[in-house]
Amino acid sequence: MLREIGVASIDDLFVDIPEKIRLKRPLKLPQAMSELEVKRHMKAMLAKNKPFTQMLSFLGGGAWSHYIPSHVRALTQRSEFVTSYTPYQPEVSQGMLQTLFEYQSMVAELVELDVVNASMYDWASALGEAALMCARITHRKRFLIPKLISPGRRATLQTYAVGPGLEVAEIGYDRKTGQLDLSQIRAQLKKDTAGVYVENPSYLGFLETQVEEIANAVHKAGALFVVGVNPISLGLLKAPGDYGADIVVGEGQPLGNPVSFGGPCLGIFACRSEMKLVRQMPGRLIGMTTTLDGGKRGYCMALATREQYIRREQATSNICTNNSLCAVAAAFYLASLGPQGLRKVAERCAANASYAMKKLNAIHGLETPIFDAPHFNEFSLNCDDTHMSIEKLNSKLLKRGIQGGIPLRGEFPELGETGLLCTTELHSRECIDHLAKTLKEIVGGKR
């Protein structure tokens, strides 16, 4: 090959790199290992992790562990999907395109909105993009969010808001019920607000019961209503499109994707089919069309002029590589569960949380939930009366092989020594009984 090219050595192919910056030594990296060595080495390193399959864990907060059916995993590993690029050539990529169209369609049913994009990175970045979209559509610069929101999501939103100079303002909540303060929303809406964001279920697991009233107020003020969801909850709960959401974002990871230390996730992004909205949407959209002769149905990318590779600095977003394979897994998952299956998972999640709250609340010194409202599968647990910090409680639990809830005091000092716990269908009654028994020992043991 060198002879064909007409050079004497490989180095002759790098003569265009100025002498001064050529790397004249080997990279300071380990020497190559065999496949077997890599496997041994990495398995040993990773064995220092303790997976939640080997302990009892009650962690949620935006990354949720659910059962992934074996066939979903097997299909997700099919290398035709795994090793393909963005489907720029629709004729050889119908498999990916149709699967993504089915993902868009199934999530559309779940949220009851017509348009869903082919994925964003995660919930947090999807929220950031939603805020920017609201600002583009309304030409306004304020975006309202609940005070009780995951710190990671809020920080990400704040970064996204910097570019166009959006002001992110918080809405307070009722100390007894956790519900968003409607009068605050109404007052804030007067100040030229682009969008209002509500999470349902909320970060602390309770449901917002006044979403319809909020939607009305938001629309009356000419702003857009954005709702954040855990899609599993929609097996049971009212769809945001049914109570006035213009845009829905959420974390699609629980739909057939592993937790993997928080990534890759699946940013859900949906909106109403009004073209004023769709044209401002970020990300890739797959559309249904026909062959040029009209004879056969097929799928291809649609409305691509919104995207960076065509509109450059005028694009609705810079996103290019997204999280398609996670969306594909979500499609497999939703198709496999169907309406009844998803409802059953959602029921199990909620029933377990409800059982856990009842059990734990009976323990002297513990209070759960701290808000008087219906909950889905996450709930707050306060241990102020034990005179123990939530971290202390957690470390005692961990010594007994249980991963407790996410401490909330750092972000929300007004909540005191409170943690956020989560149950899914993976938890059995025995798991929850064991948690209750262990907590009782810890709390009782202190006194």
* 183-202 residues near other proteins, rule: CB under 8 A: none
Residue (195 or 282) nearer to other proteins, CB: 282
Residue (311 or 446) nearer to other proteins, CB: 311
Q: Return d(Cα 157, Cα 127) in angstroms, integer.
A: 6
Binding positions for other proteins, 209-248, rule CB under 8 A: 209, 234-239, 242
- Asked if 277 and 271 touch (Cβ cutoff 8 Å), the reply is yes
Tell me the closest approach of the beta carbon of residue 162 to other proteins, in angstroms.
Answer: 6
Residue (217 or 421) nearer to other proteins, CB: 421
Stretches 141-149, 180-188, 273-281, 432-440: which one binds other proteins (CB under 8 A)?
Answer: 273-281
Could you give the maximum distance between any two Cα atoms of the chain, in Å?
Answer: 85
Q: Return d(Cα 363, Cα 18) in angstroms, integer.
A: 72
DSSP state of 105: H
Residue count, binding to other proteins (CB under 8 A)? 193
Answer yes or no whether residue 30 interacts with other proteins by CB under 8 A: yes
Residue (323 or 438) nearer to other proteins, CB: 323
Q: Return d(Cα 19, Cα 200) in angstroms, integer.
A: 60
Helix (H) or strand (E) holding 145: strand 142-146
Residue (288 or 362) nearer to other proteins, CB: 288
Answer yes or no whether residue 33 interacts with other proteins by CB under 8 A: yes
Residue (127 or 189) nearer to other proteins, CB: 127
Tell me the closest approach of the beta carbon of residue 437 to other proteins, in angstroms.
Answer: 21
Tell me the closest approach of the beta carbon of residue 187 to other proteins, in angstroms.
Answer: 26
Which residue in the set 179, 280, 317, 438 belongs to the binding site for other proteins (CB under 8 A)?
317
Answer yes or no whether residue 66 interacts with other proteins by CB under 8 A: no
Answer yes or no whether residue 438 interacts with other proteins by CB under 8 A: no
- Asked if 308 and 315 touch (Cβ cutoff 8 Å), the reply is yes
Q: Return d(Cα 115, Cα 138) in angstroms, integer.
A: 19
Binding positions for other proteins, 277-296, rule CB under 8 A: 278-279, 284-294, 296
Q: Return d(Cα 301, Cα 395) in angstroms, integer.
A: 50
Q: Return d(Cα 190, Cα 6) in angstroms, integer.
A: 72
Answer yes or no whether residue 276 interacts with other proteins by CB under 8 A: no
Answer yes or no whether residue 379 interacts with other proteins by CB under 8 A: no
Binding positions for other proteins, 328-357, rule CB under 8 A: 328, 331-332, 334-340, 342-343, 347, 350-351, 353-355
Residue (195 or 250) nearer to other proteins, CB: 250
Tell me the closest approach of the beta carbon of residue 192 to other proteins, in angstroms.
Answer: 19
If one counts every other C-beta atom within 10 angstroms of the C-beta of residue 380, the result is 26
Answer yes or no whether residue 305 interacts with other proteins by CB under 8 A: yes
Stretches 170-178, 183-191, 260-268, 359-367: which one binds other proteins (CB under 8 A)?
Answer: 260-268
Nearest to 386 by CA among 403, 404, 401: 404
The tokens describing 137, both together, are: 């559509």
Residue at token pair 């939103």: 157
- Asked if 170 and 144 touch (Cβ cutoff 8 Å), the reply is yes
Here's the x/- map for other proteins, 71-90, by CB under 8 A: it reads as: x--xx-xxxxxxxxxxxxxx
Q: Return d(Cα 338, Cα 336) in angstroms, integer.
A: 6
Q: Is 392 exposed, middle or buried (0-12, 13-18, 19+ CB in 10 A)?
A: middle
Residue 425's φ and ψ, nearest 5 degrees, are -70, -10
Answer yes or no whether residue 362 interacts with other proteins by CB under 8 A: no
